[in-house]
Chain A
Amino acid sequence: MRNIENYASEVQQELKERLDYDELMNCMRCGFCLPSCPTYTQTNKNEAASPRGRIALMKGVVDGVIEPDEDFEEQLNLCLGCRACEPVCPSGVKYGHLLEEARDVLEQKKKHKWPVKVMRHLVFEEFFPKKDRIRRLNNLLWLYQKSGVQKVVQKSKVLNVLPGNLANMESILPEIPAPKEMKNRPEHLDPFNVEAPKKRVAFFAGCLMDTMFMPTNDATVKLLQLAGCEVFIPPAQGCCGALHAHSGEKNGAKELAKQNIRAFEELDVDYIISNAGGCGAFLIDYDHLLKDDPEWYERAKAFVLKTKDISEVLVELDFHEKPLAVQPQVVTYQDSCHLRNVMRTSSAPRKLLKSIEGVTFKEMKDPDQCCGSAGVYNIVQQDMSMQILDSKMEKAKATQAQTIVTANPGCLLQMKLGIKREKMESNAKAVHIVDLLLEAYEGAASGEDNIREVAVTDS
Chain B
Amino acid sequence: MLTSEVKKLLVQIVGQENYKDSNEMRLVYSYDATPTFQSLPDAVISPRNKEEIQKILQLCNEQQIPIVPRGSGTNLCAGTCPTQGGIVLLFTHMDKILEIDEENLTATVQPGVITLDLINAVEERGLFYPPDPSSMKISTIGGNINENSGGLRGLKYGVTRDYVLGLEAVLPNGNIIRTGGKLAKDVAGYDLTRLFVGSEGTLGVVTEVLLKLVPMPETKSTMLVLYEDIDAAARSVSKIISNRIIPTTLEFLDKPTLEVVEDFAKIGLPTHANAVLLIEQDGPPEIVSRDMEKIAMVCREEQALSVEMAATEEEADALRTARRSALSALARMKPTTILEDATVPRSKISEMVRAINEIAAKYDLNICTFGHAGDGNLHPTCLTDARNEEEMERVEHAFAEIFDKAIALGGTITGEHGVGEMKSPYLEWKLGKEGVEAMKAIKQAFDPNNIMNPGKMFAKDSRKRVLV
Q: A residues engaging B (CB < 8 A)?
A: 22, 25-32, 34-35, 44-48, 50, 53, 56-57, 60, 65-67, 69, 71-72, 75, 89-92
Once the chains bind, are B336 and A25 in contact (CB under 8 Å)?
Answer: yes
Interface residues as binary, B93-126 with A (CB distance below 8 Å gives 1, 0 otherwise)? 1010000000000000000001000000000000
- Chain A positions within 8 Å of B331 at CB level: 26-28, 30, 90-91
Name the contact of B73 in the complex, choosing from A31, A65, A90, A92 (C-beta under 8 A).
Answer: A31
Q: Is B29 an interface residue (CB 8 A)?
A: yes
For the complex of A and B, list the 8 residue pairs with the smallest distance between their C-beta atoms, beginning with the closest.
A90-B328, A28-B331, A90-B325, A71-B24, A25-B335, A91-B331, A90-B329, A53-B28
Per the bound structure, the CA–CA distance linking A48 and B35 in Å amounts to 19
Q: If the complex has contacts A32-B137, A34-B138, are A45 and B92 also in contact, measured as CB distance less than 8 A?
A: yes
Given contacts A27-B331, A32-B138, 5 further A-B contacts (CB under 8 A): A31-B74, A32-B328, A34-B72, A47-B28, A91-B332
Q: Is B444 an interface residue (CB 8 A)?
A: no
Once the chains bind, are B23 and A69 in contact (CB under 8 Å)?
Answer: yes
Once the chains bind, are B328 and A56 in contact (CB under 8 Å)?
Answer: no
Name the contact of A35 in the complex, choosing from B29, B40, B138 (C-beta under 8 A).
Answer: B138
Once the chains bind, are B23 and A71 in contact (CB under 8 Å)?
Answer: yes
Q: Is B31 an interface residue (CB 8 A)?
A: yes
Q: Is B264 an interface residue (CB 8 A)?
A: yes
Once the chains bind, are A66 and B24 in contact (CB under 8 Å)?
Answer: yes
Per the bound structure, the CA–CA distance linking A46 and B386 in Å amounts to 28
Which chain A residue has the least Cβ–Cβ distance from B46? Answer: A44
Chain B proximity of A419: nearest CB distance (Å):
30
Can you name 24 A-B residue pairings with CB atoms under 8 Å?
Answer: A29-B32, A29-B33, A30-B331, A31-B72, A31-B74, A31-B138, A32-B328, A44-B92, A45-B90, A45-B95, A46-B92, A56-B27, A65-B38, A67-B23, A72-B24, A90-B326, A90-B329, A90-B331, A91-B328, A91-B329, A91-B331, A91-B332, A92-B263, A92-B264
Once the chains bind, are A30 and B135 in contact (CB under 8 Å)?
Answer: yes
Q: Is B25 an interface residue (CB 8 A)?
A: yes
Total residue contacts A-B, CB cutoff 8 A: 95
Chain A proximity of B103: nearest CB distance (Å):
30
- Chain B positions within 8 Å of A69 at CB level: 23-24
Which chain A residue has the least Cβ–Cβ distance from B24? Answer: A71
- Chain B positions within 8 Å of A91 at CB level: 328-329, 331-332
- Chain B positions within 8 Å of A26 at CB level: 331-332, 335
From DSSP, what is the main secondary structure of chain B's interface residues?
Answer: loop
Per the bound structure, the CA–CA distance linking A22 and B28 in Å amounts to 19
Of B28, B72, B332, B336, chain A has the most CB atoms within 10 Å of the CB of B28
Chain A proximity of B394: nearest CB distance (Å):
19
Per the bound structure, the CA–CA distance linking A67 and B22 in Å amounts to 11
Per the bound structure, the CA–CA distance linking A31 and B386 in Å amounts to 20
Once the chains bind, are B24 and A29 in contact (CB under 8 Å)?
Answer: no
Of A27, A90, A91, chain B has the most CB atoms within 10 Å of the CB of A90
- Chain B positions within 8 Å of A71 at CB level: 22-24
Once the chains bind, are B325 and A75 in contact (CB under 8 Å)?
Answer: no
Per the bound structure, the CA–CA distance linking A29 and B337 in Å amounts to 11
Per the bound structure, the CA–CA distance linking A69 and B72 in Å amounts to 25
Of B22, B29, B325, B331, chain A has the most CB atoms within 10 Å of the CB of B331
Q: Is B422 an interface residue (CB 8 A)?
A: no
From DSSP, what is the main secondary structure of chain A's interface residues?
Answer: loop
Per the bound structure, the CA–CA distance linking A382 and B237 in Å amounts to 56
Once the chains bind, are A48 and B335 in contact (CB under 8 Å)?
Answer: no
- Chain A positions within 8 Å of B95 at CB level: 45
Name the contact of A30 in the complex, choosing from B29, B40, B328 (C-beta under 8 A).
Answer: B328
Q: If the complex has contacts A28-B328, A32-B325, are A48 and B24 also in contact, measured as CB distance less than 8 A?
A: yes
Once the chains bind, are A65 and B40 in contact (CB under 8 Å)?
Answer: yes
Once the chains bind, are A56 and B31 in contact (CB under 8 Å)?
Answer: yes
Interface residues as binary, B296-332 with A (CB distance below 8 Å gives 1, 0 otherwise)? 0000000000000000000000000000011111011
Per the bound structure, the CA–CA distance linking A30 and B34 in Å amounts to 9
Per the bound structure, the CA–CA distance linking A260 and B343 in Å amounts to 57
- Chain A positions within 8 Å of B32 at CB level: 29
Which chain B residue has the least Cβ–Cβ distance from A63? Answer: B38
Q: If the complex has contacts A44-B92, A90-B332, A92-B332, are A35 and B137 also in contact, measured as CB distance less than 8 A?
A: yes
Per the bound structure, the CA–CA distance linking A30 and B450 in Å amounts to 28
Once the chains bind, are A28 and B27 in contact (CB under 8 Å)?
Answer: no
Once the chains bind, are B138 and A66 in contact (CB under 8 Å)?
Answer: no
Per the bound structure, the CA–CA distance linking A92 and B331 in Å amounts to 9
- Chain B positions within 8 Å of A31 at CB level: 33, 72-74, 135, 138
- Chain A positions within 8 Å of B38 at CB level: 65
Which chain A residue has the least Cβ–Cβ distance from B35? Answer: A28
Per the bound structure, the CA–CA distance linking A412 and B27 in Å amounts to 37
Chain A proximity of B140: nearest CB distance (Å):
10
Chain B contacts with A in 327-386, Cβ cutoff 8 A: 327-329, 331-332, 335-337, 386
Per the bound structure, the CA–CA distance linking A34 and B116 in Å amounts to 13
Chain A proximity of B356: nearest CB distance (Å):
20
- Chain A positions within 8 Å of B263 at CB level: 92
Which chain A residue has the least Cβ–Cβ distance from B265? Answer: A90
Q: If the complex has contacts A71-B22, A71-B24, are A22 and B73 also in contact, measured as CB distance less than 8 A?
A: no
Q: If the complex has contacts A28-B35, A29-B33, A90-B328, are A60 and B27 also in contact, measured as CB distance less than 8 A?
A: yes
Name the contact of B23 in the complex, choosing from A28, A47, A56, A66 (C-beta under 8 A).
Answer: A66
Per the bound structure, the CA–CA distance linking A37 and B28 in Å amounts to 16
Which chain A residue has the least Cβ–Cβ distance from B88? Answer: A47
Chain A proximity of B149: nearest CB distance (Å):
14
Chain B proximity of A93: nearest CB distance (Å):
8
Chain B proximity of A76: nearest CB distance (Å):
11
Of A26, A32, A66, chain B has the most CB atoms within 10 Å of the CB of A32
Per the bound structure, the CA–CA distance linking A28 and B384 in Å amounts to 12
- Chain A positions within 8 Å of B93 at CB level: 44
Of A30, A50, A92, chain B has the most CB atoms within 10 Å of the CB of A30
- Chain A positions within 8 Å of B326 at CB level: 90
Which chain B residue has the least Cβ–Cβ distance from A72? Answer: B24
Once the chains bind, are B335 and A22 in contact (CB under 8 Å)?
Answer: yes
Chain B proximity of A300: nearest CB distance (Å):
23
Per the bound structure, the CA–CA distance linking A29 and B35 in Å amounts to 8
- Chain A positions within 8 Å of B261 at CB level: 90
Per the bound structure, the CA–CA distance linking A390 and B406 in Å amounts to 54
- Chain B positions within 8 Å of A34 at CB level: 72, 138
Which chain A residue has the least Cβ–Cβ distance from B38? Answer: A65
Per the bound structure, the CA–CA distance linking A30 and B31 in Å amounts to 11
Per the bound structure, the CA–CA distance linking A26 and B260 in Å amounts to 14
Once the chains bind, are A89 and B335 in contact (CB under 8 Å)?
Answer: no
Of B33, B263, B336, B386, chain A has the most CB atoms within 10 Å of the CB of B33
Q: If the complex has contacts A45-B92, A71-B22, A92-B264, are A66 and B328 also in contact, measured as CB distance less than 8 A?
A: no
- Chain A positions within 8 Å of B30 at CB level: 56, 65
Per the bound structure, the CA–CA distance linking A28 and B135 in Å amounts to 13
- Chain B positions within 8 Å of A48 at CB level: 24-25, 28
